[in-house]
Structure 1
Amino acid sequence: MHISTICFIATTLSLTTFTTNARINLTDDISLSGFGSTSITQSNNATPLYVNREITDDICYDCDTTLGLQGDIRFNDSFNASIQVVKRPQDDWSSPELEWAYVGYSVSDFNLKLGRLRLPLFLSSEYYYVGQAYTSARPPQEVYNSILGFTAYEGISGTWDIEINDESYLTLTPYAGVESDGSVDIGVISYDFVIDNTLGLHSEISGFDYRIMFNYAHFKYAVDVTTPLGSQHYAADSIHIYTLGIEKSWEQLTLTTEVLIDKMHFNWYSSIGYNIDKFTPYVTYAESHHTKKNNSLLLGLRYELTTTVSLNAEWKYTDANGGSNGELITAPTDDETDAQLYTLMLNFIF
């Protein structure tokens, strides 16, 4: 899809609710909004860090660059349509990704969506590329980067909102996807996936100061792997992914923990942030196990320049945890498996 076509669609369709204070209401029923992130970042290890970002010991000004447009159109009290188009960190400006595009139908406490939808694996899945919506510069990579950057599927979902009591709600969302494809480059190796089907169940209990999320997803897929030496096809396989997330606030203090488990990973992180006026210092500790191993410590400070613009300064140390460091996406040439990562990130919504 050509970039001008995408921009035209984005101006005529719609946005979800995360940017209520920044969205532009074109009419009473059509709104437009957007978001972006840019950074200056550098590692002290020449081996690239992170799939789809590839941060090295050279100063990088575009490893995190993200720009998205969203829009919403409301046809009546029941029907709506929504779209999100994103230039992700791994995309060229000329080829952004259609992250979601769906029609929705709502009746009472039930909502049905059909089209290209966001995979609801994590606490921050719905606003994964909106850096202004979460505290750290990036969602913790040990968990969020473990699925190689796949964030969407084509299919259907149905959501039931159930009131438990005056202060708590239960949300249940079963979802199913049809055949789709995707690709990811890791160093000089390219992986082309064909996902035959997707099945999952997302559940969340939430109240005034907490969220508890559990998600199960099953994928059946085949993959073609291309290296400088040639290509190889791997027949259909399946994977079951379990994720659990907890977020709890006590006035100025917020604790967030998430876990991902599948046959290749047992990854988790825990993060604490403390808000002081416009400043939020935070600490995150994370571990990866099984096929990828590492543990990491991150120290950061977020500053709210305005209600729609924020600045993050971060330092992260990642170590191999007795094996090869899973955050280094290729084998280190100098046997250095630990790395320090420095980030200055600007996030905004409009």
Structure 2
Amino acid sequence: MQTSKICFIATTLSISTFAVNAQLNLTDNISLSGFGSTSITQSNNATPLYVNREITDNTCYDCDTTLGLQGDIRFNDNFNTSIQIVKRPQDSWSSPRLEWVYVGYSVSDFNLKFGRLRLPLFLSSEYYYVGQAYTSARPPQEVYNSILGITSYDGISGTWDIEISDDSYLTVTPYLGIESNSKVGIGDKQYDFNIDNTVGLHSELSGFDYRIIFNYAYSKYAVKVTTPQGSLDYPSDNINIYTLGTEYSLEQWLLTAEVLIDEMNFNWYSSIAYNIDKFTPYVTYAESHHGKKNNSLLIGLRYDLTTRVSLNTEWKYTNAKGGSHGELIRTPVDGDTDAQLYTIMLNFIF
């Protein structure tokens, strides 16, 4: 049981788990790794659930399908480069996305990155598409779906690693994004975001059995909405996003909570998981306020077939409040804003 506990802590608290366990070393300086997810899922509501997944009451075999490849090259002790290409759930197989590609420079306790980088808003941001790296089938959508699936930015970041004690570390990462574009489809509407700039500050305090992150991001953006009836350009606007998250491990227990606040959302979730050898049952409760009024309860079980393959079975009940359609991506025609979601998910790394 002690070995199982250590593996559980390492999997849930270390963002490097995927790279350590799965990478294939082609040479001393070049490595290749990959990851993927696939599912069978169905809701009991005809109105689609979740931006970029659109799960309905028809059984879906590809709503969560994800496949990614990552290559890393270390030129010397200071310079390295990394590239990650992902076929996300919303992408066709012929049009995967370049999720990140950057050049990094490290010296002492400082690391500089330049290129396309992951937007570091959440606990699971760094490995958002690597389903094997977190407990549930999907990160809690009330929080992680709040920014419509925008997960990266083009720009520069600098990270300082500060040792506080023998087992406590603080990382501080200011970052700056330049102009970029992103597209999101919601039902029969297409949203084209033009992001003029992004400025943010990410910090993380971590130890053997805990992580605490705080992030602030400011963006100036404009959006064009296209429907079958035509298109409309909205004027530029600003958004300030604040996120706070914490993970804490106690024996076989793992406690997790995150909150996101911006001009349109006040969303949060809390989760508890208990590891029993290869089995990890978990429960998550979440709420959305302001833009989407919603609460949900999720009960799931993860089974680790191997250190590289896991299986999730989940039931989720979501209930929109106050007349909002909540996590349903458009207003139901029949007025039914409750939904039960059933999921069997397979995650793997290679």
TM-score bin (small chain): over 0.9
Structure 1 residue 172 corresponds to structure 2 residue 172: yes
Give the Å deviation of 1:94.
0.1
Distance 1:122 1:298 in 2: 19
Asked if residue 219 in structure 1 is aligned to residue 219 in structure 2, the reply is yes
In structure 2, the partner of 1:125 is 125
Query: What is the distance in 1 between the residues matched to 2:17 and 2:290?
Result: 37
1:235 aligned residue: 235
Q: For residues 335 and 276 of structure 2, what CA distance do their matches in structure 1 show?
A: 41
Aligned residue for 1:315?
A: 315
For 2:75, the equivalent position in structure 1 comes to: 75
1:114 aligns with 2:99: no
Per-residue deviation, residues 95-136 of structure 1 (Å, max 9, x unmatched) = 000000000000000000000000000000000000000000
Distance between the aligned counterparts of 2:316 and 2:51, measured in 1? 16
Distance in structure 2 (CA, Å) of the matches to 1:270 and 1:337 = 22
Q: What SS class does the counterpart of residue 21 from structure 2 fall into?
A: coil
Q: How does 1:114-153 map to 2 (within 5 A)?
A: 114-153=114-153
- What's the CA shift string for 1:45-95, capped at 9, x where partnerless? 000000000000000000000000001000000000000000000000000
In the TM superposition, residue 17 of structure 1 has moved relative to its aligned partner by 6.2
Equivalent AA in structure 1 for residue 231 of structure 2: S
Contact 2:18–2:349, Cα closer than 8 Å, also in 1: no
Cα drift, residue 325 of structure 1: 2.7
Are positions 1:38 and 2:38 aligned together? yes
Which residue is 1:56 aligned to? 56
Provide the secondary structure at the position in 2 that maps to 1:19.
Answer: helix
In the TM superposition, what is the alpha-carbon distance from 1:18 to its structure 2 partner?
Answer: 2.5
Q: Distance in 2 between matches of 1:39 and 1:318?
A: 19
Please tell me whether residue 263 in structure 1 is matched to residue 263 in structure 2: yes
- Which residue pairs with 1:181 in the alignment? 181
Contact 1:112 1:159 in 2 (8 A): yes
Residue identity in the other structure for 2:150: F
Partner of 2:196: 196
- The C-alpha deviation readout for 1:19-66, integer Å capped at 9, x for no partner, is 312211000000000000000000000000000000000000000000
Identity %: 80
Question: In the comparison of the two structures, how many residue pairs are matched?
Answer: 335
Counterpart of 1:200, as a letter, is G
Name the residue aligned to 2:89.
Answer: 89
CA contact (8 A) 1:19 1:349 kept: no
Distance 2:138 2:313 in 1: 11
TM-score using structure 2 length? 0.95
Counterpart in the other structure of 2:21: 21
2-structure distance, mates of 1:323, 1:130 = 35
Whether the 8 Å contact between 1:183 and 1:193 is mirrored in structure 2 is yes
Q: Which 4+ stretches in 1 moved above 4 angstroms?
A: none
After superposing the two structures, state which structure 1 stretch, 292-301 or 226-235, moved more. Answer: 226-235
Aligned partners of 1:199 and 1:31: how far apart in 2? 31
- For residue 79 of structure 1, what is the amino acid of its counterpart? F
Paired residue secondary structure (1:18): helix
Displacement of 1:326: 1.7
Q: Secondary structure at 2:22's aligned position in 1?
A: coil
Give the letter aligned to residue 264 of structure 1. M
In structure 2, give the amino acid aligned to 1:235: P
Measure the CA separation in 1 of the matches of 2:328 and 2:18: 33
Question: What letter corresponds to residue 190 of structure 2 in structure 1?
Answer: S
Secondary structure of 1:132 counterpart: helix
Deviates more, 1:228-237 or 1:74-83: 228-237
The residue type paired with residue 179 of structure 2 is E
Kept in 1: contact 2:326–2:337 (CA 8 A): no
State how far apart, in whole Å, the 1-side matches of 2:21 and 2:185 are: 37
The amino acid across from 2:20 in the alignment is T
Whether the aligned pair in 2 keeps the contact of 1:157 and 1:174 (CA below 8 Å) is yes
Q: Is the 8 A contact 2:183 2:190 kept in 1?
A: yes
CA contact (8 A) 2:17 2:133 kept: no
Q: Distance in 2 between matches of 1:57 and 1:17?
A: 35
The normalised TM-score by structure 1 is 0.95
| 2:107 aligned with 1:104 | no
Q: Helix, strand or coil: the match of 2:194?
A: strand
Q: CA deviation at 1:235?
A: 1.1
Structure 2 CA distance, aligned partners of 1:287 and 1:55?
20
Output the CA distance in 2 between the equivalents of 1:331 and 1:322.
13
RMSD: 0.7
After superposition, give the CA deviation of every residue in 1:270-294 in whole Å (9 maximum; x if it has no partner).
0000000000000000000001110
- Structure 1 position 336 matched with structure 2 position 336: yes
The one-letter code matched in structure 2 to 1:58 is N
Contact residue 296 and residue 318 of structure 1 kept, 8 A: yes
**2:67 and 2:235 mapped to 1: Cα distance?**
36
Q: Which residue number corresponds to residue 275 of structure 1?
A: 275
Per-residue CA deviation, residues 294-327 of structure 1 (Å, 9 max, x unaligned), is 0000000000000100000000000012331320
**Is the alpha carbon distance of 1:17 and 1:313 closer, same or farther for their aligned partners in structure 2, counting shifts above 3 Å?**
closer
Aligned-partner residue type, residue 52 of structure 1: N
